[in-house]
């Protein structure tokens, strides 16, 4: 630290250096040892001198009074300094205040050192032992100053120069017979004190440098964190804005390809259409996983804990993927531990997505055999497991399986070696996001996840729910399975009966969906706005099923429209289609009992839904 003479007239100092000077002054002002020494030590000197001579010496009494007055002045100055620099000081005023107080402290150091040095001439006529005591006291004062004032180099130099210089110059005169012997010792003592003060100053500078480095590191970390959060937020905004535009053509593509598959009579074209449908499904899955992963990473997925039944979850998952399992020639089974309550309290939408992703991953990488979806009690809580008879995962690949965009090299090599034609299996390609969504969702819910695998024999992916999520209740026992390879998917599904209303402002999507529904045997009416639907209801028309898009033209709310239609046609059923359903929308639809389908809709899943809700011709 430097005084105003050292700082004045130079370039403007950075704020952090000014703050260091401010801390130095405040640290000096926070110590009251110098005032206490100025009150007590002169009093002891006066008392010892009276004890030696038998009477008070007026000069020493005046010196004591002067030291006491100086101590009082120091106390007042310290309080004023803390008021002036202790509070938040505007950056523009800080340099001027520091220079003013550094000048004041420098002058007070000169006055303090000169006052202590007065003890030498005032006690010159005393005995040898008393004079030696005075020098020892002054040496102690110098050492104390080296400890407390050394960081403030300019203040210490003034104090040390005056007091130690007076001691050094007067030693031969003060000690008439022994001064020449004491002079080398005093010089050595002064060198030691100067060395100690320099070391203390360097230690302080090192501490400041480390503190500054930590501060800069923290600032860089905060800046990088803020930049990363902004980038993540920008990515999320982009994905949210682009989701509707991405899902609409994918939705239409899947419906058109499925319509073409249903109408196709050319055996050579069937494989091409199957591959096209698999690509459309893969793109839709990738889009859903990408958006889910983004919501989980940026923390916008709000957990909504509720009581749910694992039996219902596993049964729904099996029914949803049954058609895909049949298409691949696989046996899909599900099982829940017998005699056990299967109620848990969890975010149903998130847990359902995790199970669907694990099941979809197992079907994707299993060429023969089957997949088992099971739930059992393990470690006091429920464990959901997905077993497959696929290729398995090598040990070196297992730590990376849940990372985004990772593909097991060993699994790919085994697949190519064992079954080259597997590359043409519908949906076998993947963008590596499904398991990443599972991992992110598990972290969000506080659920453990992992896998067991034997290359060439299969894998088991598991989710361990904590025991705190258990809910006790008595429920019936259930298990089931899908049809295996002995019951292959029919070339054309059985025709449905009934009238379906399609409400969508996207003409391409509406035409594709209507064409597919007509191929399934339904009578289809298409509307783009709520006004058209209101006209149908006013004319006495009523549907058997309603498929309504969430976001219609001119900001019309499709959910409200669907609720209005089903209220006026209580015999009908319906489902809401949404490109990116928010957690609030999912929660509201679930609480009110409405079906919510995410775009792009899987045609086989839609067919399964309609088969449960509508009559089948000839049944």
Q: What is the spatial distance between Cα 441 and Cα 355, in angstroms, rounded to a whole number? A: 11
DSSP 519-578: HTT-EEEEESSHHHHHHHHHTT---SEEEEESB-GGG-BHHHHHHHHHHH-TT-EEEEEE
Q: What is the spatial distance between Cα 543 and Cα 262, in angstroms, rounded to a whole number? A: 24
pLDDT attached to residue 429: 41
pLDDT attached to residue 260: 83
pLDDT attached to residue 291: 67
Place of tokens 């839709």: 284
pLDDT attached to residue 8: 45
Bond preceding residue 478 cis, omega within 30 of 0 = no
- Give the sign of the dihedral formed by CA 291, CA 296, CA 301, CA 303: positive
pLDDT attached to residue 346: 85
Do the Cβ atoms of 532 and 546 come closer than 8 Å? no
DSSP state of 152: S
Q: What is the spatial distance between Cα 154 and Cα 74, in angstroms, rounded to a whole number? A: 18
Q: What is the spatial distance between Cα 556 and Cα 549, in angstroms, rounded to a whole number? A: 10
Partners of 372 in beta bridges: 333, 387
Q: What is the spatial distance between Cα 581 and Cα 247, in angstroms, rounded to a whole number? A: 12
Contacts of 76 (CB under 8 A, 6+ apart): none
Task: Give residue-wise pLDDT tens across range 268-306.
Answer: 787 777 777 766 766 666 666 666 666 666 666 677 778
Q: What is the spatial distance between Cα 41 and Cα 33, in angstroms, rounded to a whole number? A: 11
Phi (first) and psi of residue 557, to 5 degrees: -90, 115
CA-based nearest residue to 257, from 235, 273, 233, 237? 273
User: What's the number of CA atoms in the CB half-sphere (13 Å) around residue 243?
Assistant: 25
Structure tokens, 49: 């001198």
DSSP state of 175: S
pLDDT attached to residue 5: 40
CA-based nearest residue to 547, from 503, 591, 579? 503
Report the SS3 class of residue 484. coil
**Angle at CA 98, nearest 5°, toward 93 and 101?**
125
Strand (E) or helix (H) holding 384: strand 381-388
DSSP 335-380: EE-TT---EEEEEHHHHHHHHHHHHHHHHHT--SSEEEEEEEEETT
CA-based nearest residue to 292, from 204, 357, 206, 248? 357
- Would you mind telling me the total number of residues written for the chain in this entry? 619
Domain covering 303-487: architecture: 2-Layer Sandwich (3.30)
> What is the domain partition of the chain in residue ranges?
4-177, 303-487
Q: What is the spatial distance between Cα 536 and Cα 520, in angstroms, rounded to a whole number? A: 23
Do the Cβ atoms of 287 and 431 come closer than 8 Å? no
Rg (CA), the chain: 43
CA-based nearest residue to 150, from 102, 99, 194? 194
pLDDT attached to residue 192: 92
Q: What is the spatial distance between Cα 560 and Cα 510, in angstroms, rounded to a whole number? A: 19
> Burial of 90 by CB count in 10 Å (0-12 exposed, 13-18 middle, 19+ buried)?
exposed
Contacts of 606 (CB under 8 A, 6+ apart): 597
pLDDT attached to residue 492: 61
pLDDT attached to residue 9: 44
Report the SS3 class of residue 502. strand
Query: In the chain, which residues have pLDDT < 50?
Result: 1-10, 410-411, 413-430, 473-479, 481-491, 618
- Give the sign of the dihedral formed by CA 181, CA 184, CA 188, CA 193: positive
pLDDT attached to residue 299: 65
CA-based nearest residue to 549, from 599, 500, 592? 599
Strand (E) or helix (H) holding 381: strand 381-388
Q: What is the spatial distance between Cα 231 and Cα 398, in angstroms, rounded to a whole number? A: 30
Q: What is the spatial distance between Cα 583 and Cα 604, in angstroms, rounded to a whole number? A: 25
Q: What is the spatial distance between Cα 88 and Cα 94, in angstroms, rounded to a whole number? A: 10
Task: Give one word for 397, left, alpha or beta, with left for phi > 0 and alpha for psi -120 to 50.
Answer: alpha
CA-based nearest residue to 498, from 518, 479, 478, 481? 518
Structure tokens, 20: 């260091």
Q: What is the spatial distance between Cα 257 and Cα 328, in angstroms, rounded to a whole number? A: 18
Q: Strand 545-549: give its sheet, edge to edge.
A: 523-527, 499-503, 545-549, 573-578, 595-598
Phi (first) and psi of residue 325, to 5 degrees: -65, -45
Task: Give residue-wise pLDDT tens across range 347-375.
Answer: 887 888 889 889 988 998 898 999 999 99
DSSP 429-450: ---S-HHHHHHHHHHHHT-EEE
DSSP state of 426: T
């Amino acid at each position: 630290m430097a005084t105003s003479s050292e700082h004045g007239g130079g370039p403007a100092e950075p704020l952090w250096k000014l703050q260091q000077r401010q801390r130095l002054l405040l640290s000096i002002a926070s110590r009251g040892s110098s005032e206490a020494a100025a009150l007590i030590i002169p009093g002891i000197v006066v008392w010892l001198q009276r004890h030696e001579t038998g009477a008070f010496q007026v000069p020493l009494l005046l010196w004591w009074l002067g030291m006491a007055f100086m101590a009082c002045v120091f106390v007042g100055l310290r309080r004023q300094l803390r008021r002036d620099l202790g509070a938040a000081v505007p950056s523009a005023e800080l340099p001027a205040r520091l220079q003013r107080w550094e000048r004041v402290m420098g002058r007070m150091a000169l006055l303090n050192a000169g006052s202590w040095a007065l003890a030498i001439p005032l006690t010159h006529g005393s005995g040898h032992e008393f004079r030696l005591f005075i020098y020892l006291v002054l040496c102690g004062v110098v050492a104390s100053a080296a400890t407390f004032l050394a960081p403030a180099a300019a203040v210490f130099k003034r104090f040390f120069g005056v007091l130690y210089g007076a001691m050094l110059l007067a030693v031969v005169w003060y000690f008439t017979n022994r001064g020449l012997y004491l002079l080398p010792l005093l010089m050595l003592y002064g060198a030691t004190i100067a060395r100690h003060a320099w070391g203390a100053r360097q230690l302080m500078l090192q501490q400041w440098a480390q503190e500054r480095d930590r501060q800069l590191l923290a600032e860089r970390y905060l800046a990088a964190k803020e930049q990363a959060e902004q980038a993540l937020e920008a990515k999320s905004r982009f994905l949210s804005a682009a989701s509707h535009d991405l899902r609409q053509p994918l939705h239409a593509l899947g419906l058109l390809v499925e319509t073409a598959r249903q109408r196709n009579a050319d055996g050579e074209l069937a494989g091409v259409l199957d591959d096209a449908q698999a690509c459309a499904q893969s793109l839709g899955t990738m889009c859903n996983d990408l958006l889910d992963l983004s919501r989980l990473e940026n923390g916008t997925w709000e957990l909504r804990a509720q009581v749910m039944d694992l039996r219902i979850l596993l049964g729904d998952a099996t029914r949803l993927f049954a058609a895909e399992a049949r298409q691949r020639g696989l046996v899909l089974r599900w099982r829940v531990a017998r005699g056990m309550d299967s109620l848990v309290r969890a975010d149903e939408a998130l847990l359902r997505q995790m199970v669907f992703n694990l099941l979809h991953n197992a079907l994707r990488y299993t060429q023969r055999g089957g997949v088992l979806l099971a739930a059992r009690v393990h470690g006091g809580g429920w464990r959901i497991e997905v077993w497959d008879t696929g290729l398995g995962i090598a040990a070196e690949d297992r730590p990376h399986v849940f990372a985004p965009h990772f593909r097991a090299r060993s699994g790919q090599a085994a697949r190519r070696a064992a079954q080259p034609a597997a590359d043409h299996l519908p949906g076998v390609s993947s963008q590596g996001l499904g398991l990443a969504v599972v991992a992110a969702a598990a972290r969000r819910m506080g659920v453990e996840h992992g896998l067991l695998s034997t290359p060439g024999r299969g894998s088991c992916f598991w989710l361990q729910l904590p025991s705190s999520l258990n809910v006790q209740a008595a429920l019936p026992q259930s298990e089931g399975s899908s049809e295996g390879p002995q019951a292959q998917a029919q070339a054309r599904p059985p025709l449905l009966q009934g009238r379906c209303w399609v409400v969508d402002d996207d003409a391409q999507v509406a035409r594709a969906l209507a064409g597919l529904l007509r191929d399934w045997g339904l009578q289809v009416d298409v509307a783009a706005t709520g006004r058209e639907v209101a006209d149908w209801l006013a004319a006495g028309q009523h549907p058997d099923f309603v498929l309504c898009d969430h976001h219609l033209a001119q900001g019309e709310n499709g959910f409200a429209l669907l609720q209005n239609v089903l209220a006026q046609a209580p015999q009908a059923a319906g489902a809401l289609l949404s490109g990116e359903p928010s957690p609030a929308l999912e929660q509201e639809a679930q609480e009110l009992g409405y079906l919510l389908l995410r775009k792009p809709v899987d045609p086989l899943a839609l067919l399964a839904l309609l088969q449960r809700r509508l009559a089948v011709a000839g049944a």
